[in-house]
Amino acid sequence: MRKRKLVIFLCLAILLVGLFAPRLYRDQVVDGFKTKPAVLSSSYLGRAWATENGLEQELGTESLPDLAQAGYRGVTGSDELRLLARLVAAEAGGEPYAGKVAVAAVVLNRVEHPSFPKTVSSVIFQPGAFESVSNGLVWRVNPRGEPTNAAVDALNGWDPTFGALYFWNPYKPVSGWMWTRTILTQIGRHIFAR
Amino acid sequence: MKRWPVIVLAGALLVSVLWGLWERQNRINLANALEAQYQNEFYNFLAQVEQVDLTMGKALVSNFPEARGAYFAEVWSRAIEAQGRLSELPFPEVNLAASRKFLAQVGDYCLSLARKEARGEVISADDRKNLERLRRELGEYNQSLHRLEESMAFSGRAWTDSIRRAGPLGRAEAAADQKDEFIKMDNRFQELPALEYDGPFSDHLERLKPRGLTGKAITRAEAERLARSILPPDKQHFRLQAGRELTGKIPCYTLVFQNPRQPETIQIQVTKTGGHLAFMINSRAVGGESLNASAAVDRAVKFAAQRGLGRLEPVSSLKQGGYQVVNLVRTSGGSILYPDMVKVKVALDNGEIVGWDAFNYLMAAGPRKIPRPAISVAEARTKLHPELKIRRVRKALIPLDSGKEVLCYELRAERGPETYLIYINARTGAEERIFKVMKLPQGEVVM
């Protein structure tokens, strides 16, 4: 009797592992450099909404960025701030603070550049533009704290790269086209280029 | 006794197969929804490019300035729309930056021509030549897109093919045709001559040189000393880390200071020419607030003076979280010089300067001649809509999208509960710009 129970248990265990392994795997390989994988939760949408509301309370209306004086960026409102903070958390979660500001600034520099879409959301969701959007990490991160502060700073006009349009991690394979860009600087593990 | 494991395994297999089928159906549904989206973008893109071509043709033959102005404005909206649609299509490992830039420039250029028409200026022979040239390129683009549409429609290729993961037998040769056509055109666009005009996407803006980089070249050691001198006394023990230099329009030394005990880093960028403080950001989180806004503004003004920028005028300030962000500008002869702006971030717990951005200032603040106004304040007042109540007038030099600067009267006016800033050109009396002022509890935001 005992043996039978053991067999049943093993079968169920194998089945469960088979069901959930791909999901865990996907969460972990998202970025080889993120020491703390964002959230190992399978219900990421629920998670996303929870942090979204938390952020709302934390920021209130205080998050509205200064616009015209911020170099005429033409960027509005706290909705875009939340989105930007999320991207910063996903793309530069383990980066130094200046690196986070720079990633947010890249998005805003793109909005102003003729080669890119003309709103923050379409820059962020441009197909293939950001790895964390393609693999869904952007919906699982917590944007509170530094990512949000960095996004606010960038919306206010701060940009340590003075105009970067691209960034990539030189320790990971990227398309050769990237390396034809003019490199401006490196902050943390990201090269910034125009 | 031995049948149990078999039954359990068979059950597990059945569940797995059912689950697989269910997932497969889900995948197909998602792929269909996405494919429909992409196809929609693609066909809308084709239609918009065609319309840009048509409308440009109409603008070229129309002999009535008002009608031409409207056609040019239509070209702008359709070209920007086409650029947006193209950005929504997936091209893995291909960057169609030149194609998107071409479309955005065509639109932006035509908008500048629409503005010219509205001002009653003549479209020059050069402009017509430019238009003809752009239209030729557009015609080529159009044809290549139609060839592509045809081949895609017949081959049954899908946009979503390009997103599929490579199987064990290698990547399916997906969507090669559509990529090729687009790449061919993009290479063509990369070769186009520069287009210069009065607009934000004009090529001359890429080549602007900083006008405020005065002084001699400094060494890294000097930059380090300068950066240290900016740190407050209680942060002198911070460890200096190697930071990679910044190249580009304003080359800088990058100095990164790390608090040895807490997670606090300060990144400071000092220009290689002249050793100007160009950029600073401190990651420190602030505690309770002890400063009010006006004290923070005073700190910012003092800090700028210590950097050798003289007495700057605070033009706006906004409280954000535990920080006050203050915008300071130069003034000259009673005029506010908006292009010469620095931004200062003050921590409200102890008044420390935790952020500094002088990029705009260093780009703009050169020696300049400010023109004399040709119209008086009283005349400028008459230019406003009669519904507006004027609250304040001052002279201000403002930057335009085209990179030019114009001297204006800045009229702060109210219409009912709404407040606006209206900029009247002090030489021509034309209205250059309108901002809406949003009064928030944290300060004023201009949109």
Cβ neighbourhood burial of A36 (10 Å; 0-12, 13-18, 19+) = exposed
Residue B273 main-chain phi, psi, to 5 deg: -95, 115
Q: How far is A148 from chain B (nearest CA, A)?
A: 11
Q: What SS3 state is found at B129?
A: helix
Please name the residue ranges forming H helices in B156-267: 176-190, 220-230
| pLDDT value of position A71 | 33
Instruction: Give the Cα separation of B119 and B114 in Å (integer).
Output: 9
Q: Model ipTM?
A: 0.92
Listed by number, the residues of chain A in 34-63 with a beta carbon closer than 8 Å to a beta carbon of chain B are: 59, 61-63
Parallel, antiparallel or unpaired: strands B418-425 and B405-415: antiparallel
CA distance A90 to chain B (A): 18
A17 CB neighbours in chain B (<8 A) are: none
Question: Contact A114/B108, CB-based, under 8 Å?
Answer: yes
The model's pLDDT over A74-96, given as tens digits with 9 standing for 90+, comes to: 334 667 899 999 999 999 999 99
Contact status of A157 with chain B (Cβ, < 8 Å): yes
Would you state the structure tokens that stand for residue A50, as one six-digit string?
């929870």
The segments of chain B whose pLDDT lies below 50 read none
Residue A79 contacts by C-beta under 8 Å, 6 or more apart in sequence?
none
- Residue carrying structure tokens 């703390």: A36
Contact status, residue B51 vs residue B79, Cβ threshold 8 Å: no
What is the spatial distance between Cα B275 and Cα B214, in angstroms, rounded to a whole number? 9
C-alpha–C-alpha distance, residues A10 and B281, integer Å: 55
pLDDT for residue A11: 67
Burial of residue A1 (CB within 10 Å: 0-12, 13-18, 19+) is exposed
Contact present, B253 and B223 (Cβ < 8 Å): yes
Structure tokens at B446: 């201009």
**Residue A42 pLDDT exceeds 60:** no
Does the CB of A93 have a partner CB in chain B at under 8 Å?
no
Q: Name the residue facing B355 among A66, A158, A163 (closest C-beta).
A: A158
CB B99 within 8 A of CB B86: yes
| Chain A residues lying within 8 Å of B100, measured CB to CB | 114-116
Render pLDDT for B8-63 as a digit per residue (tens, 0 to 9): 999 999 999 999 999 999 999 999 999 999 999 999 999 999 999 999 999 999 99
CB pairs A-B closer than 8 Å: 182
Q: Which residues of B touch A75 (CB under 8 A)?
A: none
Instruction: Give start and end residues of each alpha helix (H) in A29-168.
Output: 44-59, 77-92, 97-111, 120-124, 131-134, 146-155
**Residue where the block lists tokens 């600034």:** A105
Task: Measure in Å the smallest separation between the Cα of B327 and chain A Cα atoms.
Answer: 7
Per-residue burial over B293-332, b if 16 or more Cβ lie within 10 Å, else e, is beebbebbbebbeebebeebebbbbbbbbbbbbbbbbbbe
A103-130: per-residue pLDDT in tens? Answer: 999 999 999 999 999 999 999 999 989 9
Give contacts of A 3-22 with B, CB under 8 A: 4, 7-8, 11-12, 14-15, 18-19
Nearest by Cα to A153 from A43, A73, A44: A73
- Residue A178's pLDDT is 84
Question: Which of B196, B258, B325 to probe by mutation at the A interface, max A CB count within 10 Å?
Answer: B325
